[in-house]
């Protein structure tokens, strides 16, 4: 059976695949087109490998197959490349077998030599295989098989005769790119509209059109539209369809599911921060105040955004999330879904509330048939029975889907008549509707029931692979069975369960026994001390209790988790344990977590994992924890020791030598363990360790030289030493960490130098050196980090010089005392990108003109900056926001450079 809940088209990961000749257009037309597609929220794939080689990698073929549209840019020398031609043959194959849309672009080529010569590529050269295309194929006949060359001829002719764009007709390159982007947006929007019914979203098209009418996209004001209806009627699904069909029209977007549930778990401040972080594309942003900082307000006011707030139940929460009038930019749209009309009436006009109504009889019958028979009408002999179901269910989509999924493959009229829910519906009518979901649950086998209740009580929404980790191998097929029965949906490898079904699952568990000790699952804090057979345990702390200065009273009692007699038992069947602010100093003495996969104890009072003197509290042999993949102890300031038997820490001052026995450990987070003085050599034996976080381990003075052993195992990608103020040096052989992509050394005040071997970190993308005041120089090998995209030198640095081969550089917060570093900018001849933020200087050194490779310059919030020197002619992108003191001459110089670049683009004479 399929793993999706209804017949769907294959999921395509990419919107557009770009096929092009790199030497012709990579650094001009193609890069500009790709940038425009990305800016318009169109996911376009571009192969960034330099031209060379004949073999096409399997991964690239997969990218073609995973794309909805292939955009082929025919340039003068496209056919010279056998790589391009093989790529084109695969594109034609996908067009013929997968109905992939293929769009050609006939692009003029600009040749720059002793004299400038502009050649126009005539589409007929490609269609008729003449000119450079004919010559190229003749050359290939000498080196390639005749069958392969013939297949290339066929592909060229077929694709060149499709409707596309001709740069001879649209000569302005900027306009050409705008038209291509606009047309692709229309195709993607049209495809989404067509796919609504194909995905089983019956009746959705008219709903989407009605809501789009309420959204009045032509209006420049900020509008709020509400979507109202009962549970299971399709509010969230409708909002999601509207969002995906229109999000590309906006500069910022966010679809936030389950505002009610997330605010209860993490607090409304967390919800607001998540939403604004996504809208502003600053997911690491932290907002610590109820009132938004002025800088964030300005960013929001300049941005046209689309935000969906799903399942809002508290008017105060909604008002808080929407903020003050004028918070969002002109043309912004906010969509709110709720079961409570009063919530919506407080936020939007009466005529802007859309009521999601039940499906009419025809649509209801079609939806039911899609799930019961996998076609849009009942099979022969079942029409009358199907109409009975539809008539009784009253057109509620969730009910129709689950009933249909439950009856799928039950091809016995007798079963439908006597044993199934149909008989109940006939006799009890509306009363039976309340019980039908529970009846569908009882149709599951024991494994499927267990998975259903696990999702309902603990996960709700999670990644499929994470849920699989909590199950035995033979149980995992039950996930797909639940999807077949429409009890869950699997979208892009993420599992979702409707909140109506979530409540059903919890109700079933509550009905198991009046005594919580006899239930299979517990999630209420009052029952936490009575566990026997728990497999999954997740305990959240009420957000308002995270502030110890506030005392909250409810029903005359303090709200919180109370264990006055301690905790005497935890199930050894536990696979997953999350406990925020665990109040005790140790775990129970009889706790044997051999099956534990993930342990998270943030901000707990835990001091040890066993009671002193009870050696049997955890497995003595560390190998018993083979399943452990994640250990999170961030913020556990009271942690004194962990037993050697768990293989993590013997005390805060050190880790046990046998930590290397945790062969499955993927992430080790010891952030905030401020007394940790060192790491054992055996840490190099953690074969799967990809993330090592030691943030604010202030007593950590050094890393073991043996840490480079991890490299041979191709694991460590992220090393975070932010705030390790006692760190004096890095291992000389740190360059052996060949897989490292992120290294954060911010706040390492005592760090005096970086090893020369750092230049061997060929995959390093991000290097943070914020506030490393002890650094006086950087090694020349820094310039060998070809993939380095971020080098952050913000803060109080004492650097006397910088290597001249740096290609990307950021300074932030320099005062006048430290602006001397900028005088040497002219020597950084390899620099391509420069960011100068919040710097207290009046002018940029004139030597910046010597940076002949500089393409991007950002001057953000440099309020004292008064004038600009002549800038490099290579500059493509220039941002000078909040530079309020710039004189008139500087403005003229900026505009003059911009006009020059536009003229160059218009004639296609400009190369990056």
Domain boundary residue among 814, 833, 852?
A: 833
Instruction: Give me the pLDDT at residue 4, please.
Output: 28
Taking the C-alpha atoms of residue 571 and residue 69, their distance in angstroms, rounded to an integer, is 52
164 inside domain:
yes
Instruction: Give me the pLDDT at residue 112, please.
Output: 39
Q: Looking at the structure, do residues 316 and 389 belong to the same domain, yes or no?
A: no
Residue 170, domain CATH: 3.40.50.10140
Confidence of residue 845 (pLDDT cuts 50, 70, 90): confident
4 inside domain:
no
What is the mean pLDDT of the segment spanning 899-910? 56
Segment among 183-187, 333-337, 345-349 with least mean pLDDT? 183-187
Domain boundary residue among 442, 458, 491?
A: 442
Q: Convert the pLDDT of each residue in 222-269 to its tens digit.
A: 999 999 988 778 899 899 989 988 887 888 899 999 899 888 878 899
The better pLDDT of the pair 651, 725 is held by 725
746 inside domain:
yes
Provide the number of structural domains found in the chain. 6
Q: Convert the pLDDT of each residue in 709-738 to its tens digit.
A: 555 546 789 999 998 988 988 888 888 888
Cβ atoms of residues 532 and 565 within 8 Å:
no
Residue 542 has pLDDT above 70, yes or no: no
Is residue 859 within a helix (H) or strand (E), and if so which, with residue range? strand 856-860
Residue 471, domain CATH: 1.10.10
The SS3 call for residue 294 is helix
Q: State the chain's maximal CA–CA distance in angstroms.
A: 91
Residue 343 has pLDDT above 80, yes or no: yes
Instruction: Give me the pLDDT at residue 636, please.
Output: 47
Name residue 811's beta-bridge partners. 836
Cβ atoms of residues 106 and 121 within 8 Å:
yes
Instruction: Give me the pLDDT at residue 427, please.
Output: 52
Residue 735, domain CATH: 3.80.10.10
Taking the C-alpha atoms of residue 686 and residue 512, their distance in angstroms, rounded to an integer, is 43
Q: Looking at the structure, do residues 420 and 437 belong to the same domain, yes or no?
A: yes
DSSP state of 885: T
Instruction: Give me the pLDDT at residue 226, please.
Output: 96
Name residue 336's beta-bridge partners. 226, 309
Segment among 380-389, 404-413, 717-726, 866-875 with least mean pLDDT? 404-413
Is residue 236 within a helix (H) or strand (E), and if so which, with residue range? helix 235-246
Q: Looking at the structure, do residues 398 and 541 belong to the same domain, yes or no?
A: no
Q: Looking at the structure, do residues 417 and 477 belong to the same domain, yes or no?
A: no
Confidence of residue 27 (pLDDT cuts 50, 70, 90): confident
pTM for this model (two decimals):
0.46
Confidence of residue 846 (pLDDT cuts 50, 70, 90): confident
Name residue 72's beta-bridge partners. 19, 104
Q: Looking at the structure, do residues 80 and 133 belong to the same domain, yes or no?
A: yes
Q: Convert the pLDDT of each residue in 169-187 to its tens digit.
A: 888 889 999 999 989 987 8
Cβ atoms of residues 803 and 783 within 8 Å:
yes
Cβ atoms of residues 573 and 615 within 8 Å:
no
What is the mean pLDDT of the segment spanning 640-659? 47
Q: Looking at the structure, do residues 400 and 543 belong to the same domain, yes or no?
A: no
> What is the span of the domain harbouring residue 430?
361-442
Instruction: Give me the pLDDT at residue 176, please.
Output: 94
Percent of the chain with pLDDT over 70: 72
What is the mean pLDDT of the segment spanning 192-220? 76
The better pLDDT of the pair 801, 99 is held by 99
Q: Looking at the structure, do residues 666 and 812 belong to the same domain, yes or no?
A: yes
Q: Looking at the structure, do residues 652 and 755 belong to the same domain, yes or no?
A: yes
Confidence of residue 642 (pLDDT cuts 50, 70, 90): very low
Instruction: Give me the pLDDT at residue 231, please.
Output: 77
Instruction: Give me the pLDDT at residue 485, please.
Output: 77
195 inside domain:
no
Residue 66 has pLDDT above 60, yes or no: yes
Confidence of residue 693 (pLDDT cuts 50, 70, 90): confident
Residue 554 has pLDDT above 60, yes or no: no
Residue with tokens 């291992």: 731
Confidence of residue 155 (pLDDT cuts 50, 70, 90): very high
Instruction: Give me the pLDDT at residue 613, please.
Output: 31
Taking the C-alpha atoms of residue 328 and residue 304, their distance in angstroms, rounded to an integer, is 7
Segment among 247-261, 342-356, 763-777, 811-825 with least mean pLDDT? 811-825
CB within 8 Å of 575: residues ≥ 6 apart: 469, 470, 535, 536, 595, 596, 597, 598, 627
Residue 319, domain CATH: 3.40.50.300
The better pLDDT of the pair 538, 698 is held by 698
Q: At what angle do helices 82-97 and 58-65 cross, to 10 degrees?
A: 40
Which tokens go with 797?
A: 């640095």
Residue 557 has pLDDT above 60, yes or no: no
224 inside domain:
yes
What is the mean pLDDT of the segment spanning 87-114? 81
Taking the C-alpha atoms of residue 465 and residue 764, their distance in angstroms, rounded to an integer, is 28
What is the mean pLDDT of the segment spanning 449-472? 84
Confidence of residue 800 (pLDDT cuts 50, 70, 90): low
Segment among 534-543, 546-555, 896-905 with least mean pLDDT? 546-555
Segment among 69-73, 352-356, 439-443, 559-563 with least mean pLDDT? 559-563
Taking the C-alpha atoms of residue 318 and residue 302, their distance in angstroms, rounded to an integer, is 22
Q: Looking at the structure, do residues 575 and 707 belong to the same domain, yes or no?
A: yes
Instruction: Give me the pLDDT at residue 421, please.
Output: 56
DSSP state of 69: E
Q: Looking at the structure, do residues 717 and 572 belong to the same domain, yes or no?
A: yes
Cβ atoms of residues 439 and 421 within 8 Å:
yes
Domain boundary residue among 323, 355, 387?
A: 355
Taking the C-alpha atoms of residue 165 and residue 123, their distance in angstroms, rounded to an integer, is 10
| Average of per-residue pLDDT values in the chain | 76
522 inside domain:
no
1 inside domain:
no
Segment among 182-196, 237-251, 297-311, 376-390 with least mean pLDDT? 182-196
What is the mean pLDDT of the segment spanning 133-141? 91
Taking the C-alpha atoms of residue 61 and residue 826, their distance in angstroms, rounded to an integer, is 44
Segment among 21-30, 94-103, 487-496, 621-630 with least mean pLDDT? 621-630
Instruction: Give me the pLDDT at residue 643, please.
Output: 41
Q: Looking at the structure, do residues 548 and 616 belong to the same domain, yes or no?
A: yes
527 inside domain:
no
Instruction: Give me the pLDDT at residue 647, please.
Output: 33
Instruction: Give me the pLDDT at residue 12, please.
Output: 58
What is the mean pLDDT of the segment spanning 807-836? 65
The better pLDDT of the pair 776, 293 is held by 293
Q: Looking at the structure, do residues 827 and 838 belong to the same domain, yes or no?
A: no
Positions annotated as catalytic residues are 87
Instruction: Give me the pLDDT at residue 43, please.
Output: 82
């Amino acid at each position: 059976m399929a793993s999706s809940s209804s017949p769907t088209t294959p999921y395509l990961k990419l919107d557009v695949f770009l096929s092009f000749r790199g030497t012709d257009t990579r650094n001009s037309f193609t890069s500009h087109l790709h940038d425009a597609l990305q800016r318009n929220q169109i996911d376009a794939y571009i192969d960034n490998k330099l031209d060379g080689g004949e073999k096409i990698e399997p991964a690239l073929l997969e990218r073609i197959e995973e794309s909805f549209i292939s955009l082929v840019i025919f340039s003068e020398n496209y056919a010279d490349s056998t790589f391009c031609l093989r790529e084109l043959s695969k594109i034609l194959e996908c067009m013929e077998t997968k109905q992939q849309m293929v769009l050609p672009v006939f692009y003029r080529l600009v040749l720059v030599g002793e004299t400038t010569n502009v050649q126009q590529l005539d589409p007929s050269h490609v269609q008729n295989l003449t000119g450079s295309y004919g010559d190229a194929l003749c050359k290939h006949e000498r080196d390639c098989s005749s069958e392969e060359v013939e297949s290339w001829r066929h592909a060229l002719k077929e694709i060149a005769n499709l409707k596309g764009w001709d740069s001879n007709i649209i000569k302005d390159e900027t306009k050409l790119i705008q038209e291509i982007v606009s047309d692709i947006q229309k195709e993607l929007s049209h495809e989404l509209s067509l796919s609504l019914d194909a995905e089983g979203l019956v009746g959705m098209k008219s709903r989407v059109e009605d809501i789009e009418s309420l959204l009045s996209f032509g209006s420049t004001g900020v509008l709020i539209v509400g979507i109202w209806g009962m549970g299971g009627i399709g509010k969230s699904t409708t909002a999601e369809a509207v969002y995906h069909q229109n999000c590309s029209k906006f500069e910022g977007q966010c679809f936030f599911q389950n505002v009610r549930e997330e605010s209860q778990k993490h607090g409304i401040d967390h919800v607001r921060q998540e939403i604004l972080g996504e809208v502003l594309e600053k997911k690491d942003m932290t907002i610590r105040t109820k009132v938004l900082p002025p800088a964030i307000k300005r960013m929001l006011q300049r941005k046209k955004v689309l935000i969906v707030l799903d399942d809002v139940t508290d008017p105060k929460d909604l008002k808080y999330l929407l903020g003050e009038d004028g918070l969002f930019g002109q043309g912004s749209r906010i969509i709110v879904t709720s079961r409570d009309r009063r919530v919506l009436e407080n936020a939007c006009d009466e005529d802007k509330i859309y009521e999601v109504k039940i499906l009419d009889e025809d649509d209801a019958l079609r939806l039911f048939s899609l799930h019961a028979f996998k076609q849009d009408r009942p099979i022969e002999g079942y029409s009358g029975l199907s109409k009975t179901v539809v008539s009784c269910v009253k057109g509620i989509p969730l009910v129709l889907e689950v009933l249909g999924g439950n009856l799928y493959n039950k091809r016995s009229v007798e079963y439908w008549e006597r044993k199934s829910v149909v008989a109940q519906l006939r006799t009890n009518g509306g009363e039976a509707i309340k019980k039908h979901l529970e009846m569908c649950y009882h149709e599951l086998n024991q494994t499927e029931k267990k998975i259903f209740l696990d999702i309902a009580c603990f996960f709700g929404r999670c990644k499929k692979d994470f849920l699989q980790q909590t199950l035995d191998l033979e149980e995992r097929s039950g996930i797909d069975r639940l999807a077949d029965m429409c009890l869950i949906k699997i979208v892009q490898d993420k599992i979702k369960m409707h909140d109506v079904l979530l409540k059903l699952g919890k109700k079933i568990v509550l009905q198991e026994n009046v005594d919580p000790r006899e239930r299979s699952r517990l999630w209420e804090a009052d029952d936490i001390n009575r566990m026997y057979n728990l497999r999954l345990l997740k305990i959240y702390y009420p957000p308002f209790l995270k502030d110890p200065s506030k005392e909250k009273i409810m029903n005359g009692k303090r709200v919180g988790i109370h264990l006055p007699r301690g905790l005497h038992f935890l199930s050894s069947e536990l696979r997953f344990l999350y406990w925020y602010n665990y109040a005790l100093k140790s775990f129970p003495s009889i706790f044997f977590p051999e099956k534990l996969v993930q342990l998270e104890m943030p901000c707990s009072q835990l001091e040890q994992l066993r009671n002193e003197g009870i050696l049997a509290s955890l497995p003595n042999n560390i190998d018993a924890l083979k399943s452990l993949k994640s250990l999170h102890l961030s913020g556990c300031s009271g942690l004194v020791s962990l037993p050697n038997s768990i293989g993590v820490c013997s005390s805060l001052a050190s880790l046990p030598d046998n930590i290397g026995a945790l062969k499955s450990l993927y992430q080790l987070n010891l952030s905030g363990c401020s007394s940790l003085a060192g790491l054992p050599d055996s840490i190099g034996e953690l074969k799967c360790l990809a993330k090592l976080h030691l943030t604010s381990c202030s007593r950590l003075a050094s890393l073991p030289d043996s840490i480079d052993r991890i490299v041979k195992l191709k694991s460590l990608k992220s090393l975070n030493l932010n705030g390790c103020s006692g760190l004096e040096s890095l291992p000389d052989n740190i360059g052996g960490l060949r897989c490292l992509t992120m290294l954060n050394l911010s706040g390492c005040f005592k760090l005096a130098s970086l090893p020369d071997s750092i230049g061997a970190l060929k995959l390093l993308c991000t290097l943070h050196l914020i506030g490393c005041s002890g650094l006086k120089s950087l090694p020349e090998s820094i310039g060998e980090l070809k993939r380095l995209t971020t080098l952050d030198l913000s803060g109080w640095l004492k650097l006397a010089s910088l290597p001249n081969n740096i290609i990307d550089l950021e300074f932030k917060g320099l005062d006048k005392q430290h602006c001397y570093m900028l005088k040497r900018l002219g020597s950084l001849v390899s620099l391509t990108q420069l960011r100068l933020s919040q710097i207290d200087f009046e002018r940029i050194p004139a030597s910046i003109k010597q940076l002949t490779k500089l393409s991007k310059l950002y001057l953000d919030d440099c309020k004292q900056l008064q004038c600009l020197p002549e800038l490099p002619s290579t500059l493509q992108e220039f941002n000078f926001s909040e530079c309020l003191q710039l004189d008139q001459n500087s403005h003229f110089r900026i505009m003059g450079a911009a006009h020059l670049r536009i003229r160059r683009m218009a004639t296609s004479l400009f190369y990056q």
